[in-house]
Amino acid sequence: MKFGMNTLIYTGEFGDGHRSLFPGLKAMGYDGVEIALGAKGDFDTGKMLGSLEENGLVCSSICGLYGPGRDMRGSDAESIRGGIEYTKDCIDVASELKAELVVGPLYSVVGRANLETEEDRKSQWALVVDGLKESCEHAEKKGISLGLEPLNRFETDFINITDDALRMVSDVGSERLGLHLDTFHMSHEEKNSAEAIRRAGKHLFHVHASENDRGTPGTGQVPWDAIAKALADINYDRWVVIESFTPEVKVIAKAASIWRPTEKDADTLARKGLQFLTGLFA
């Protein structure tokens, strides 16, 4: 098992200056860093890769930030194209940083949660299938895989559970597309998180570790022992990345409804979370 930290715990606008985070994360014992990409060109990928390597870290993955104008199921052609092109940009940056994976809710802008008609849902589903097929073709050329993340009902009405994501993977029909499961979202939506992991099986490409309150893994109600057992049962040996948030990063705190601190600071969360996970999977 390899352990990483998502940069959103420290900043919502990752750039060249944030290379300074790497020595501290390495000292804590992390294997890699998951970079949340605002936009292609936000940082020099050559210098970023060099800094990762100097600190004995790798880029585990690129985490897509699907905000306004990036919506494969959008109501207008511009936002649909924006979602596809942004995903391609994430693939390009992942390739330049020698990562293997792009993860996130690739299918839709976060926060779009409506009561859609069945006809509209079918239409949107078809749009996303087409968009992901095009994205997977680009990923194939670059040697990158995509991890599709179900989100909780308050952040999307589109793909909330593992079974929904598996259906999308089947409809797209590319070996480059798999699942990205997040323990926070699973704790809200799945009847049984461990069984959801088992259903994902070989299609599980990535795991985000976060507590039910978005805090430090191991401090809340997520059934960690059962999750660890399920991951062992499917022989999962990829990345487990902590994606937790603090009120200090204002833009992310507002987007994720983080209204109170769950730890003293981001470093404390990162250190305690990694200690818990390494013990859990030992």
Instruction: Give the active site residues.
Output: 149, 243
- Axis crossing angle, helix 118-142 with helix 77-96, rounded to the nearest 10: 30
H helices of the chain, in order, are 22-28, 45-54, 77-96, 118-142, 162-172, 183-189, 193-200, 224-233, 250-255, 266-280
CA–centroid distance for 259 within its chain:
22
Written as six digits, the tokens of 59 are: 């880029």
Q: Give φ, ψ of 152 to 5 degrees.
A: -70, 165
Alpha-carbon distance of 49 to 46, in angstroms, equals: 5
C-alpha pair distances (Å), 108 with each of 29, 59, 131: 34, 24, 11
CB contact at 8 A, 139 and 102: yes
| Residue corresponding to tokens 């900043």 | 11
Q: Scanning the structure block, which residue is given the tokens 């930290």?
A: 5
- 99, 59 contact by CB (below 8 A): yes
Nearest to 255 by CA among 246, 264, 265, 242: 246
Measured CA to CA, the distance from residue 241 to residue 273 in angstroms comes to 10
Nearest to 220 by CA among 262, 164, 268, 158: 262
Q: Are 252 and 12 in contact (CB under 8 A)?
A: yes
**Cβ-proximal residues to 51 (8 Å cutoff; 6+ apart), any chain:** 19, 22
